[in-house]
Structure 1
């Protein structure tokens, strides 16, 4: 029997935080197709990501706040099989597009399992987990979504027009990833996971993320300039402004009282604002880049 707690551990709404990567791939996809768009979206956001969340929760068995759950319920045995069922459905949906896309989903799923499984547990290695999580949730996911949306194969991963935007998405995630760990120091220490945030310390985490936010902003500006999309830069900066402002205010409070303000509420506030602003920006970029509005006479 599937328990309510297991459904909650899938954290399906949390998948929206990774939606900007899908939207960026969508904006650059040359072969738009409604059926493929729906299948890729469902495979990633309704099944693959929740499967990963549930699998992670099953082995972590967190007692304190985790991403998307301030008070995580007790883990029950059915969560493992529920997460595997969601993973299987994502593969079936992927195979409806192509075996290549399904293979990419399989690789992503296996890496996410290795991240949490006690025999491998990439999560306990600070730099390795940071690199792998940022690469697979960014670059690899961008390439995977682009391949699925365009009905292309594995070779798309090494195409220059995929490499550059893919790396941009990884830069975004490498900057934000340590901030998602900043409120979990006690839980991670208790479990023996030396996360990057734990290694850097609370203030070090913020300085590290600030550096990558600056690199990401500069890289996106270069990308838009290189594509001759100067006007997009101002929209991008407008979308980033509230995120950076929130980050600076949060950092200011953390400097005063790290224990109080390096909290779940502030971290989820940062994540939610980032997702809202970036999703809005990439939807705008999709509409501008594809000029799809003209098709419908707008």
Structure 2
């Protein structure tokens, strides 16, 4: 019933780059439960995110490279139904924890639909889409994961100790988000999607992201040091070092020859470097913060 092309558009491996938010929430969750840890992880990374990817691909109908697909195949109606099935499975898994967590999954799913659906298409509004994408993939997802992992409800959004680290993840994503658009100016413009990266221009995008990356470092430093976690602060700096170095090298080449170096490959390697470094750090932070390493 579902073509191989439809499965490709789900881009399940791309969920790897959003895992740091989950592991950060896991590190700060006080009520660890193996079943909830597995349910939240699977609901988010194997079903909710792929559902969003597939749904957006169906309405975008990209002909050139997109995140996770160098040569995206043509979409079919089956992709739409497959994305809905994946959303339904995510909601079903969420209900295994509680109704509130399932409703958060639904809200995330509806917002992601609004991002590309022609009736709303948030993507065509540069600053609105930037704010919403960064907030929902960062702070909202962090609070949602925390609620699911702890068997809590919507009250987590009113808890300062949850919302603050969640917003830190949004700050990080607000810095990286325009970079993911920087090689898609031509195709986005054809559809009338004047993204933030188009508004800023190529070099403006890099300068904009550099400011937000600096702000990310300052705020995470404040967060860890305010908790007297010097080791976590140093670990975060070590994790960010390869990311910053890659960014600077990339920016250097872009200034010399934008057409040659503003490409899918450069963006994907940026994702790989940052995804790997941050996943390693936040897994370590989970083990350290929960004192599992001391027990071992």
Which interval holds the TM-score relative to the shorter structure? over 0.9
Q: Take 2:123 and 2:62, find their aligned partners in 1: how far apart are those partners?
A: 14
Q: Take 2:160 and 2:233, find their aligned partners in 1: how far apart are those partners?
A: 21
After TM superposition, the score normalised by the length of structure 1 is 0.99
Q: Take 1:185 and 1:284, find their aligned partners in 2: how far apart are those partners?
A: 37
Q: Take 1:232 and 1:113, find their aligned partners in 2: how far apart are those partners?
A: 36
Q: CA RMSD in A?
A: 0.6
Q: Take 2:87 and 2:292, find their aligned partners in 1: how far apart are those partners?
A: 32
Residue of structure 1 equivalent to 2:80: 80
Residue of structure 2 equivalent to 1:208: 208
Pairwise mapping of residues 83-122 of structure 1 onto structure 2 (< 5 A)? 83-122=83-122
Which 5+ residue runs of structure 1 have no aligned equivalent?
Answer: none
Which 5+ residue runs of structure 2 have no aligned equivalent?
Answer: none
Q: Take 1:144 and 1:86, find their aligned partners in 2: how far apart are those partners?
A: 18
Q: CA deviation at 1:73?
A: 0.6
Q: CA deviation at 1:231?
A: 1.8
Residue of structure 1 equivalent to 2:237: 237
Residue of structure 1 equivalent to 2:129: 129
Residue of structure 1 equivalent to 2:291: 291
Q: Take 1:44 and 1:232, find their aligned partners in 2: how far apart are those partners?
A: 26
Q: CA deviation at 1:234?
A: 1.1
Q: Take 2:45 and 2:204, find their aligned partners in 1: how far apart are those partners?
A: 32
Matched, 1:173 2:165: no
CA shift digits 1:193-230 (9 cap, x unpaired): 00000110000000000000000000000000110101
Matched, 1:159 2:159: yes
CA shift digits 1:270-289 (9 cap, x unpaired): 01100000000000100000
Q: Take 1:157 and 1:115, find their aligned partners in 2: how far apart are those partners?
A: 22
SS of 2:89's partner is: helix
Q: Take 1:70 and 1:184, find their aligned partners in 2: how far apart are those partners?
A: 12
Q: CA deviation at 1:293?
A: 3.0
Q: Take 2:113 and 2:129, find their aligned partners in 1: how far apart are those partners?
A: 12
Q: Take 1:182 and 1:259, find their aligned partners in 2: how far apart are those partners?
A: 11
Q: Take 2:170 and 2:259, find their aligned partners in 1: how far apart are those partners?
A: 29
CA shift digits 1:3-28 (9 cap, x unpaired): 00000000000001100000000000
Q: CA deviation at 1:267?
A: 0.3
Instruction: Figure out how many residues of one structure are paired with residues of the other and give that number.
Output: 296
SS of 1:183's partner is: coil
Aligned structure 1 segments of 4 or more residues deviating by more than 6 angstroms: none
Matched, 1:275 2:275: yes
CA shift digits 1:64-91 (9 cap, x unpaired): 0000000001111100000000000000
Residue of structure 1 equivalent to 2:150: 150
Q: CA deviation at 1:292?
A: 1.8
